[in-house]
Each structure stands twice: as structure tokens, then as C-alpha cells.
Amino acid sequence: VSTQSTGIYINNNSDAMKLVAQLNPAQKADEDVQFAVKVFNAWSTGNYYQFFKLYLAAPKMSGYLMDSYVQRERNKSMKILLKSYKPTISVQRIADLLGYPDTETAIVYLDDLKVVYAKPHKIKLDCKLTLAAVDL
């Protein structure tokens, strides 16, 4: 996580917690710092739904900073979804959970992964076959 206003770069969870504790009231009130802390909290707790929700609503240039690692987090989340939603999961649900603006964009991601669709209309994924076929 990084914020332009403070020049902060976080390498691990304990560094982040120490850093947040050291922020003065003006820094804590800064909108960019608050956003970075929310993103970090969502990421560090594995709350992927909140992480991608924040990504879609990222203020200023924050979304561009997040672009560098959002794909990695999508892949991790996708693996969890495939294990959790057996036998199938809808493309719409994947789009919602992984922070895609629409199903068409999610389908581009899914096609790149070479997922196995349960039906030829690209409405649902076969979770078991996709887990076996895709290296996430």
C-alpha cells in the first residue's frame, strides 16, 4: 500500500501497523491515508469483496497504484471462489466479487484463464473442471 501524500511504502503487516500508530491527527484525517488504510485492512484480512469494492471506488490516482497488484489478488480470490462455490458459479457473481464493472469484462479475464464453462453461453463456470484445468 502506498500513499502519495506521505510517501509511505508498506512491506509487511507489522510495518503497516507501526506506521498507522505513528500517524499524527492531520495525517490520519487525510483522505488518501484513510483510503490506503482501508485497502490494507481489506487485503490483510482477506476480505476480497471489500478490497475490490475499494478498487472500483478508488479516489484520485489510487486505482492506478492498485493496478500493479490487483490481478494477483483476483487470481487468489478466483481460486477461493472455485473451491467455495462448487459445483458452479455464475459469471455475474464472479464479476461482482472480483470487482469487474460488468460481465463482459469478467469474461475476458475468465477466457484468458481458460476456464471451463458449465454451459456454452458463458453464464456459469464448472468449478471442479476449472480448478483442474487452470493454474492459479
From 32, 40, 33, 34, select the one nearest 11 (Cα to Cα): 40
From residue 12, alpha-carbon distances to 1, 40, 44, 74 in Å are: 10, 10, 9, 20
From 65, 49, 59, select the one nearest 100 (Cα to Cα): 49
Grid cell listed for 51: 478490497
Which residue matches cell numbers 497488484?
69
Q: What are the tens digits of pLDDT across the range 15-70?
A: 777 887 888 999 989 999 999 889 988 988 899 999 999 999 999 999 998 988 89
Q: What are the tens digits of pLDDT across the range 77-134?
A: 999 999 999 899 999 999 999 999 999 999 999 999 999 999 878 999 999 999 999 9
pTM: 0.80
- Residue 90: φ, ψ to 5°: -80, 150
